[in-house]
């Protein structure tokens, strides 16, 4: 079980989203997340993966097992080379959507995670990182 190696998957189609969900679920189970924690992480991943495809023009997701002292967790990074987000604060607000979604993706993923970080540059792309700890 070589779980310590980071895993990167490409995100281009909605089947990729389904596959990512399954992968995240498997890893979360492996390191012993409870059911609610698993579900929150998988759901956050799903939201961010969709965003990457819908607004970022496709990209990739990286899954890494992380440790902090004695506790372990999962770190997911979603990156794309899309148009970028001009106003991140606005994008984090619930209900805001520049597309046809419900506008809950970014803010929702943030609420579902223990740590959340976003870096975005107009014209260059976006990178969102979330962490959930056991």
Partner 1 sequence: MARIPILKMGAFLLVTIQVDMHDRLALTLQDDLTTRIVADRAHGVLIDISSLDVVDSFIGRMISDISKMAQVLDAHTVVVGMQPAVAITLVELGLSLEGVRTALDVERGMELLRLQVSEG
What whole-number distance in Å separates Cα of residue 94 and Cα of residue 102?
A: 8
Segment 13-32, which members bind partner 1 (CB under 8 A)?
Answer: 13-15, 17-18, 21-22, 25
Contact yes or no for 1/47 (Cβ under 8 A): no
Q: Which is nearer to partner 1, 85 or 106 (CB)?
A: 106
Residues that contact partner 1, how many (by CB under 8 A): 27
What whole-number distance in Å separates Cα of residue 74 and Cα of residue 134?
A: 8
Residue 23 Cβ vs partner 1, minimum distance, rounded to whole Å: 12
130: its two tokens: 């979330």
Given candidates 7, 9, 104, 119, which one binds partner 1 under the rule CB under 8 A? Answer: 104
Of 86, 84, 42, which is closest to residue 63 (Cα–Cα)? 42
- Smallest separation, CB 54 to partner 1 (Å): 10
Cα–Cα distance, 82 to 59 (Å, whole number): 8
Neighbours of 28 (CB within 10 A): 24
Q: What is the smallest separation between the CB atom of 26 and partner 1, expressed in angstroms?
A: 12
By the 8 A CB rule, do 53 and 14 touch?
A: yes
- 31-70: contacts with partner 1 (CB under 8 A): 35-36, 38-40, 42-43, 46-47, 50
For partner 1, the closer CB: 26 or 121: 26
Binding site for partner 1 (CB under 8 A): 13-15, 17-18, 21-22, 25, 35-36, 38-40, 42-43, 46-47, 50, 94, 101-102, 104-105, 107-108, 111-112
């Amino acid at each position: 079980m070589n779980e310590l190696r980071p895993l990167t998957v490409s995100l281009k189609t909605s089947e990729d989203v389904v596959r990512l969900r399954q992968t995240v679920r498997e890893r979360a189970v492996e390191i012993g997340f409870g059911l609610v924690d698993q579900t929150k992480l998988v759901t956050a991943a799903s939201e961010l993966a969709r965003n990457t495809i819908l607004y970022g023009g496709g990209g990739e997701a990286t899954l890494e097992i992380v440790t902090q002292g004695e506790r372990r967790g999962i770190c997911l990074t979603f990156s794309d080379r899309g148009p970028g987000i001009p106003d991140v604060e606005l994008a984090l607000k619930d209900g805001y959507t520049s597309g046809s979604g419900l506008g809950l993706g970014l803010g929702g993923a943030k609420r579902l995670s223990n740590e959340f970080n976003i870096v975005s540059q107009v014209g260059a792309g976006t990178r969102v990182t979330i962490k959930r700890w056991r």
